[in-house]
Amino acid sequence: MVSLDESKILKKVPRHVLMEAYGVGVAREEERAGTFFHVDQSTLYSSVNELFKGKIELMDIREALQRYEWLSDYMWNAIQKSSDFFTKKVAEDLSGGYFLRILPGAEVLFPLQSCLMITQEGMEQRIHNIIIAEENSKAHLITSCLQHSAVRKATHIGVTEVYVKRGAYLNSTMVHQWGDETVVRPRSASIIEEDGTFVSNYICLRPVMDVQMYPVAYCRGKGSKVIFNSILYGHRGSFIDAGSKAVLDGSESRAEMISRAVTREGSKIIVRGSIEGNGRECRGHLECKGLILDDESFIQSIPELIARSKSVEITHEAAIGRISEKEILYLMTRKLSKEQATSLIVRGFMDASIMGLPEALTAEISRIIEIATKS
Amino acid sequence: MEVKNLRVELEDRLILEDVSFGLRSSEIHVLFGPNGSGKTSLISAIAGLPGYRIVSGRIIFMGEDITGKSVEERARLGIGVGFQTPPEVTGVKLVDLLKLCLGKGSEDEFSAEEIRLIEHFRLQGFLNREVNVGFSGGERKRAEILQLLFLKPKVMLLDEPDSGVDVESLKIIAGEIQRYIESSGASALVVTHKGDILDYIKAKYGCVLLNGKLYCFMNPKRVYEDIKREGYEGCIKCQMKGEEKW
């Protein structure tokens, strides 16, 4: 049965689009503080839950640029237009994107959601998003980027600029679901002010031809903090080059990076991580764990630690290995088949609880992981 | 279960020369033997763990020859193994493994009786922890035996369920094993070094594994007393074979 809220969104978003989005982190509107849908080249839907009116603004980026003159100061500020071939493309010809602003002091208890989908074969989607978490605000955002199951081949280029103001907390989780023939180039950067915290989670569980991303966080303010977490499942010949970089300029600023990478079926994953300690008393820690399940696959971990002050402390730990035969056999004495035992361990390895999400959202992500590893 | 003239190699080394015994419904047998005598190998070979090559002999279970079956098939048929040192399984929560042992889905709830057992085993605080990760010896053993009870096996192969376990844990573990054997009609083969466990379980036979062969087959408490008095040296001198009694 269609709920009242669904009938509202269904006037704008085709049913087949909505149904596919539901499997990738998109929930019914009433469970979210705000909902944004961008399909192919246009924004189809943007709505703020009644409970959170006056606390957040969520709209199409072009509409926002017309409405707020000051927004142009934020556009191409954290990222330069000329950074690379892909940012230039977005600057030249924009498909759209969202503008999300969490107003000062607002505590948004429900997660916000945005969905960026490709439904046309061979399309190149060019997105530009801007997120501003105003002073002392707190919010969770889940962004689902996917292609419709009827699409084989596409290109997604997404620029996202994030501004976390003084004392604000923003937790942003991105779930990707692309295809074996799709190329993906996210280009993200964030600027974090004094005592602000930005948590950036990235989840890629479906086969994808080629993803390359290297989001940068500039911890400018004193006591600012960034946390990058990623769960990467490379299978069916996927290539994932996913890194993150933290530039710790503010004194006592912090960075944490945790990644879990699993490769099988001839897939390649490169996990890069760079922490640059420039400010006084800044701290960073980088952790990469990898599981390689066959001889056709590949994992590379490239940690980079840079210090420019004697008060800086940055550490890293990395481990890549296979599943121990002993654990598999142990589970097989518990009536599990070898395949069931392997997928149970793989699923446990890709632990959603590393992402610092509220319990309900952790459960949602765990379910997505469970489905992806079972199929 | 019937084990007939089992000869087993591990890494091209002969571990078990000629082992025969039978386990009937509701019986518990206790297996003694010095370190390295092949007790763990015997359990591993019956459970079907890889590496233990059965050169000759047969394992008959519920009338079926299972000598060539896989670990998983044997588990499904009702052979339950309690490991001496169960491995840490990173990423898998005890609660999920217990539900799998019960054949339940992750969304299913435990029954009142299952909750009673979890609490009796003092494991309620461990449900959301990764299996055996950071568990003490006693906690590990309690978790191991609880999994076995939830699997409801027809035969329990228990490798030193009493080692590294405090008296309280031993009472819980052995008491519940005895209760399960009585109520289900299953049987158990218990490997041990110590006699303490004999105070809590009603074992029918005790025997000694020496040089890849089984000896003795008597009242388990008497076997244990003899070993305490004479050592395994005494067993070697005596070497009373008597599997026909089984």
Residue B196 has pLDDT above 70, yes or no: yes
Are residues A299 and A177 part of one domain? yes
The total of other beta-carbon atoms located within 10 Å of residue B223's CB is 24
Query: Which residue matches tokens 């049913």?
Result: A15
**CA separation for the pair A130, A159 (Å, rounded):** 8
CB contact under 8 A, A326 and B92: no
Are residues A160 and A303 part of one domain? yes
Instruction: Give the closest of A332, A334, A349 to B91, CB-based.
Output: A349
Instruction: Give the closest of A324, A330, A345 to B86, CB-based.
Output: A330
CB contact under 8 A, B47 and A333: yes
Q: A22: which residues sit within 8 A by CB, 6+ positions away?
A: none
- Chain A contact for B49 (CB, 8 A cutoff): yes
Domains of chain B: 2-245 (3.40.50.300)
Query: Which is higher by pLDDT, A233 or B194?
Result: A233
Q: Which of A260, A219, A245, A289 is nearest to A365 (CA)?
A: A260
CA distance A234 to chain B (A): 19
Instruction: Give the closest of B70, B89, B100 to A345, CB-based.
Output: B89
**CA separation for the pair B179, A329 (Å, rounded):** 28
Q: A41: which residues sit within 8 A by CB, 6+ positions away?
A: A95, A96, A123, A125
ipTM, two decimals, is: 0.94
Are residues A343 and A255 part of one domain? no
Range of the domain at A342: 325-375
By the 8 A CB rule, do A231 and A260 touch?
yes
**CA separation for the pair B176, A17 (Å, rounded):** 55
The vertex-A34 CA angle with A28 and A35, nearest 5°, equals 60
Are residues A374 and A268 part of one domain? no
**CA separation for the pair A308, A194 (Å, rounded):** 20
Residue B58 has pLDDT above 90, yes or no: yes
The pLDDT tens digits for B104-147 are 988 899 999 999 999 999 999 999 999 999 999 999 999 999 99
The pLDDT tens digits for A30-43 are 899 999 999 999 99
Query: Which is higher by pLDDT, A235 or B234?
Result: A235
Residue finishing a domain among A307, A324, A341: A324
Are residues A112 and A90 part of one domain? yes
The pLDDT tens digits for A173-193 are 999 999 999 999 999 999 999
CB contact under 8 A, B151 and A335: yes
Helix (H) or strand (E) holding B177: helix B167-184
The total domain count for chain A is 2
**CA separation for the pair A196, A177 (Å, rounded):** 30
Q: B148: which residues sit within 8 A by CB, 6+ positions away?
A: B80, B81, B82, B101, B156, B158
**CA separation for the pair B167, B155 (Å, rounded):** 25
3-state DSSP percent of chain B in helix, strand and coil, to 5: 40, 30, 35
Contacts of A327 in chain B (CB under 8 A): 87-90
Touching B: A residues 323-342, CB under 8 Å: 324, 326-327, 329-338
CA distance B89 to chain A (A): 6
Cα of first residue to Cα of last residue in chain A, in angstroms, is 27
**Average pLDDT estimate for A217-222:** 98
Identity at A112, one-letter amino acid code:
L
- What residues are paired with A45 via a beta bridge? A37
**CA separation for the pair A237, A256 (Å, rounded):** 29
**Average pLDDT estimate for B168-195:** 93
* Nearest residue in chain A measured CA to CA from B150: A334
Are residues A225 and A318 part of one domain? yes
Are residues A200 and A148 part of one domain? yes
Mutate to test the interface with A, among B43, B49, B69, B71 (most CBs of A within 10 A): B71
Are residues A170 and A147 part of one domain? yes
Are residues A362 and A290 part of one domain? no
Residue A1 has pLDDT above 50, yes or no: no
Are residues A96 and A22 part of one domain? yes
Q: A345: which residues sit within 8 A by CB, 6+ positions away?
A: A323, A327, A328, A331, B89, B90, B91, B92
Residue A316 has pLDDT above 80, yes or no: yes
Are residues A155 and A301 part of one domain? yes
Are residues A255 and A192 part of one domain? yes
**CA separation for the pair A226, A237 (Å, rounded):** 31
The pLDDT tens digits for B70-90 are 999 999 999 999 999 999 998
Rounded to the nearest 10°, the torsion over CA A73, A75, A80, A82 is: -120
CA distance B101 to chain A (A): 6
Q: β-strand A98-102 against A112-118: which pairing, if any?
A: unpaired
